[in-house]
Amino acid sequence: MSNKGARNLFIVGSLFFFAIFLALSFDTIGKLDKRAPEITEDVNAGKMVWHKYDCIGCHTIFGTGSYFAPDMTKVSERRPKEYLKQFMMDPKSVKPNAAMPKLGISSEEADHLIAFFDWISKVDTNGWPPKPILATAAGVNSRELSAGQKVYQSLGCSNCHTISGIGGTAGPELTHVGNKRDRAWLIGHFKNPDDYVPHSAMPKVKAPDADIEQLAEYMLTLK
């Protein structure tokens, strides 16, 4: 092949592969756009508020963050906007025993956060988080809870214990506690943890006997 032929082959070949590269890049970018909707100014402002108050110190998004509080990836699918706004500005006005502190979020900041939550809820996460986790997270305040679950929530047990990934870590995980303890142990331990576990750091459960029994029933279902 002559020099000229080689040069032409080089130029044509380079252009050909560059064209393929461009076509594939546009194709990928097109798909990415479909995976995540457009980022508006409100969404961006909401992300800033999310960082400003260090929400990730307690919550997770896309599974990253802290496991003290529910995951926020799909929160705007399970909660109406008015609820979210009121809860974020003053958690106790929605849930008297809320573990989330009143952070001083303004009305505008709450609107931005909601835009941010709306945006992340639309990101295609391939079905994540799985429904059982969503259901547990959504269980906060839900009417479908069993009597024992309601007592568990109202007494703030999840501040110290984790069930199926949700809760605090001061006490042992309770996801399978029903395999480990029987009814009598549970009830006795609730009334006076020290009798069962010397120097227990768990506070006595101060609740009517009926509630303590419901709580034990609930624990026994955790297997």
Binding site for ligand HEC (CB under 6 A): 53, 55, 57-59, 68-70, 75, 79, 84, 87-88, 91, 95, 98-101, 103, 105, 113, 137, 140-141, 152, 155-157, 159-161, 170-172, 174, 177, 180-181, 186, 193, 197, 200-203, 205, 215, 219
Q: How many CA atoms lie within 13 A of 87 on its CB side?
A: 17
- Assess contact for 128 and 62: CB atoms under 8 A: yes
The token duo for 186 is: 């549970």
CA distances from 57 to 61, 65, 81, 109 (A): 11, 6, 23, 18
CA distances from 98 to 41, 57, 149, 153 (A): 31, 16, 15, 9
Amino acid at 106: S
Residue whose CB is less far from ligand HEC, 59 or 150: 59
Least Å from the CB of residue 127 to ligand HEC: 19
Least Å from the CB of residue 173 to ligand HEC: 8
Residue whose CB is less far from ligand HEC, 18 or 83: 83
Residue whose CB is less far from ligand HEC, 129 or 193: 193
Least Å from the CB of residue 126 to ligand HEC: 22
Q: Which residue do the tokens 């076509």 mark?
A: 23
